[in-house]
Amino acid sequence: MKIQLKNFGVLKEAEIDLSKDLIILTGPNNTGKSYMANLVYGFYRLYDFDHIYSLNVCVTDKFSEIIDDFNNNSEFKKYYIESDTDIKFYLSKFLNKEIHHFTDCFDELIKRYIYEFFSSSNSINNPIIKLSHSKEDLLLNKNYTEIKISKNSTSIDDLYLEIKEYIIRALSKVFFDIFNKSIFFPAERSAIHLFSKEIIQQKSLQRHNVISNKSNIKFLPELNSRDIVLYPLSINDYLYFVNNLEKYALIKNAPFRDIAENIEKQLLGGTFSIGMYNEVKFNPNNSKESLSLQTSSSTVKSLVGLVFYFKYLAFNNDVIFIDEPELNLHPDNQRLIARIIASAVNRGIKVIISTHSDYFTREINNLIRLKSNEKKAKKLLAKYNYTKDELLDFNKVGAYLFNENTNILLDINETGFEVPTIDGEITDLNNVSEDIYFSLFE
């Protein structure tokens, strides 16, 4: 599935293909990467059951628009008379032909919720958003096991009701296959871990003030716009994620726990635990003292959320967004986090990242190159301590360069991809450094 948009914040025109397992957004500052990442996060956020209910309501309305096609279709009546199996075959064939009626529901829904995704932004005016669905995204299985069409229906209206219920069941399955549980790790995550409780308390106080003044109806709009801080959906969700870390720690036997332990061992040199007052503590290796997050390093604060996610919450088909995975990391650890992310991708988690790191993108390229010829690369894997589960198929990777109010899809092959803005800046820096050195010291 692709999302195409126009007039979305700083982005005049942009596109992203969501079929890739690892999607990399890169480019200069203030070029729209965060706009795109938050939009896509909002897209996956439609996993919410309330939104699926809205889709079902829309499907019911759309169904009434095409019911005449059933009434006037002799082929349907023929299949209905002959056998239940033939009804199923025809119904699936008909629905796949008419699927665009129902995907309109989804298009309408995502546009309706677009301002929720960017609730604090005043820079989005009349955006144009288009979804391009592939047949693989939306094809309904003709052998769909839950179909319950019965020839014993007492009336044609009963039959249509059964067909409509089938459509809702089938489309709900399609949408749940597309929408998966998602979590966004924003660039502000270190600060959120420090101040989440205070921020949530302040939000509660603001709500209390609104309720206390509810008798003055005219006052409420002014209070909402002037005194209540509205956060983008991704930050708001992460606030509540952080505020519940101690509850997640009760979950046992999560399938991605080993990835969390790998982060703790290789990048942090310690483990996390929950203290007696339900606060997160960091326990450095070879130390008897536990540290609060407030006194821990910036690296610890930037990675604690990712560790808790992999240790307790991660499952196959999740979608995670990481804004600047290189945040607060030394170059060697930027390479390590790239390898850890790659292993998560290979085990079934979709990852969408925004990065400025040359170390990160070059390490991703290394993993792509090593995958392209594993037989020849066998000695290199051992020499540089790579593992097979980290290697990336370039067909699963999408990379986009954001610049000048748009984005372009970067070419990716078995040698990886290049980021012109990063590579050009490195070349320019090297040239300047050489000129300064040879002019002054030679």
DSSP 270-299: EEEEE-TTS-EEEEETT-S--EEGGGS-HH
Give the pLDDT of the chain (442 residues) as one tens digit per residue.
Answer: 788 888 888 899 999 999 999 999 999 999 999 889 988 898 787 655 566 667 677 777 777 666 666 656 555 555 554 555 555 565 666 666 666 666 677 667 666 666 555 544 555 666 777 777 665 555 444 444 344 444 454 455 666 677 667 666 666 666 666 667 899 999 999 999 988 777 776 766 666 565 566 555 444 444 454 555 667 888 989 998 998 898 998 888 889 999 999 999 999 999 999 988 888 999 999 898 999 999 999 999 999 999 999 999 999 999 999 999 999 999 999 999 999 999 999 999 999 999 999 999 999 999 999 999 988 999 999 999 999 999 999 999 999 999 999 999 999 999 999 999 999 999 999 999 999 999 999 8
**Measured distance CA(75)–CA(142) in Å, rounded:** 17
Say how far apart CA 269 and CA 217 lie, in whole Å: 55
CA-based nearest residue to 326, from 305, 350, 355: 355
Q: Taking the mean position of all CA atoms in its chain, how far away is CA 135?
A: 22
Residue type, 342: A
Residue type, 85: T
Burial letters for 82-104: b for 16+ Cβ neighbours within 10 Å, e otherwise?
Answer: eeeeebbebbbebbeeebebbbe
Dihedral sign for Cα 111, 114, 115, 121, please.
negative
State the Cα–Cα distance between residues 246 and 258, nearest whole angstrom: 19
Rounded distance, CA 300 to CA 319, Å? 23
- Longest pairwise C-alpha distance within the chain: 97
End-to-end CA distance of the chain: 57
Contacts of 63 (CB under 8 A, 6+ apart): 163, 164, 167
Evaluate whether 143 touches 124 at the Cβ level (below 8 Å). no
Give the pLDDT confidence score for residue 118 in this predicted structure.
53
Per-residue CA distances from 305 to 185, 218, 243, 263, 302 (Å): 8, 41, 11, 11, 7
Dist CA 105 CA 146 (whole Å): 22
Structure tokens at 42: 């909002």
The token pair that represents 16 in the structure block: 């992203």
Phi (first) and psi of residue 273, to 5 degrees: -145, 170
Q: Are 326 and 334 contacting, i.e. CB atoms less than 8 angstroms apart?
A: yes
Which of 146-149's residues contact partners 24+ apart within 8 Å by CB, and which partners? 146/170, 147/88, 147/91, 149/84, 149/87, 149/88, 149/91
Asked whether the beta carbons of 167 and 63 are under 8 A apart, the reply is yes
At 4 the three-state DSSP class reads strand
